[in-house]
């Protein structure tokens, strides 16, 4: 039996009166790499943000390692510090160096002493090829370096699950490459990941599973290659065709 890491059950969420997620259920196994695709406004980013309760769902359950996240408001901080999150942009804190960005969460959430936290931060940065930039401030770095720094910060807390919300979408095409490279490296390490992205090549090469979301529901999910190459639903096929056409432009 596979080891279930995360269960999302009948999740509903939205903003004001608009329902964005209309009942989404999903299971992620430990070590699994899931790519979520879908048109903009389909609810994929909302789904990702609901997992650490950055958005409070209207209904449904989120279960991480057997703990019902949605029922544990007192343990929320502890649960959140087990999940790494990388946003499209503005993830790093601009007023502190890259090293401090990575070390601060270790000090705050894990209670590690500053010296030790900074040593660990530096080793994570070095592993991602950012060691030489540790003393730089985020806005002194390129967009690609910033996103890799954000990934380093998310990894430093040693999360059981890494969530990435369109980590390359705000970047110029020539800067995406280095971020995708980093994603490949992390994928190889065997960490559980859920990533919302339009990087179809990455999904094909590195994902175990692809989930296609449209209009707040999961239209299709399954083995990455099967969904991407032989989608069963018309909606999936149409979306992928449009996405690939856009990429070639």
Query: Which positions lie near other proteins, rule CB under 8 A?
Result: 49, 52, 54, 77-78, 80-81, 83-85, 87-95, 104-105, 108-109, 136-141, 153, 157
Q: Shortest distance, CB of residue 87 to other proteins, whole angstroms? A: 4
Q: Residue 32 or residue 166: which is nearer to other proteins going by CB? A: 166
Q: Shortest distance, CB of residue 53 to other proteins, whole angstroms? A: 9
Q: Shortest distance, CB of residue 165 to other proteins, whole angstroms? A: 9
Q: Shortest distance, CB of residue 234 to other proteins, whole angstroms? A: 35
Strands 217-223 and 67-68, how do they pair?
Answer: unpaired
Distances from the Cα of 7 to the Cαs of 84, 114, 159, 183, in angstroms? 17, 35, 17, 23
Q: Shortest distance, CB of residue 25 to other proteins, whole angstroms? A: 23
Q: Residue 146 or residue 236: which is nearer to other proteins going by CB? A: 146
Q: Residue 87 or residue 212: which is nearer to other proteins going by CB? A: 87
Q: Residue 6 or residue 228: which is nearer to other proteins going by CB? A: 6
Q: Residue 36 or residue 219: which is nearer to other proteins going by CB? A: 36
3-state secondary structure the chain: CCCEEEEEEEEEEEECCEEEEEEEEEEEECCCEEEEECCCCCCHHHHHHHCCCCCCCCEEEEEECCEEHHHCHHHHHHHHCCEEEECCCCCCCCCCCHHHHHHHHHHHHCCCCHHHHHHHHHHHHHHCCCHHHCCCCHHHCCHHHHHHHHHHHHHHCCCCEEEEECCCCCCCHHHHHHHHHHHHHHHHCCCCEEEECCCHHHHHHHCCEEEEEECCEEEEEEEHHHHHHCCCCHHHHHHHHHHHHHHHC
Q: Shortest distance, CB of residue 39 to other proteins, whole angstroms? A: 22
Q: Residue 95 or residue 241: which is nearer to other proteins going by CB? A: 95
Q: Shortest distance, CB of residue 120 to other proteins, whole angstroms? A: 15
Q: Residue 90 or residue 184: which is nearer to other proteins going by CB? A: 90
């Amino acid at each position: 039996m596979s080891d279930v890491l995360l269960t999302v059950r009948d999740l509903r969420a939205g903003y004001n009166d608009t329902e964005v997620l209309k009942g989404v259920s999903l299971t992620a196994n430990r070590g699994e790499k899931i790519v979520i695709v879908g048109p903009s406004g389909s609810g994929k980013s909302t789904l990702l943000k609901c997992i650490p309760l950055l958005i409070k769902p209207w209904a449904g359950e989120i279960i991480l390692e057997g703990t019902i996240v949605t029922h544990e408001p007192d343990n929320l901080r502890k649960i959140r510090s087990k999940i790494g999150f990388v946003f499209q942009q503005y993830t790093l804190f601009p007023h502190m160096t890259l090293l401090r960005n990575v070390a601060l969460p270790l000090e705050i959430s894990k209670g590690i002493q500053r010296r030790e936290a900074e040593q660990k931060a530096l080793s994570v940065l070095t592993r991602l090829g950012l060691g030489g930039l540790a003393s730089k401030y985020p806005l002194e770095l390129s967009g690609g370096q910033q996103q890799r720094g954000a990934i380093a910060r998310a990894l430093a807390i040693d999360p059981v699950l890494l969530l990435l919300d369109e980590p390359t979408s705000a970047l110029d095409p020539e800067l995406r490459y280095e971020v995708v490279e980093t994603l490949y490296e992390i994928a190889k390490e065997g960490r559980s990941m859920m990533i919302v992205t339009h990087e179809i090549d990455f999904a094909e090469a590195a994902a175990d599973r692809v989930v296609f979301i449209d209009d707040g529901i999961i239209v299709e999910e399954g083995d990455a290659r099967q969904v991407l190459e032989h989608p069963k639903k018309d909606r999936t096929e149409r979306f992928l065709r449009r996405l690939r056409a856009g990429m070639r432009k």
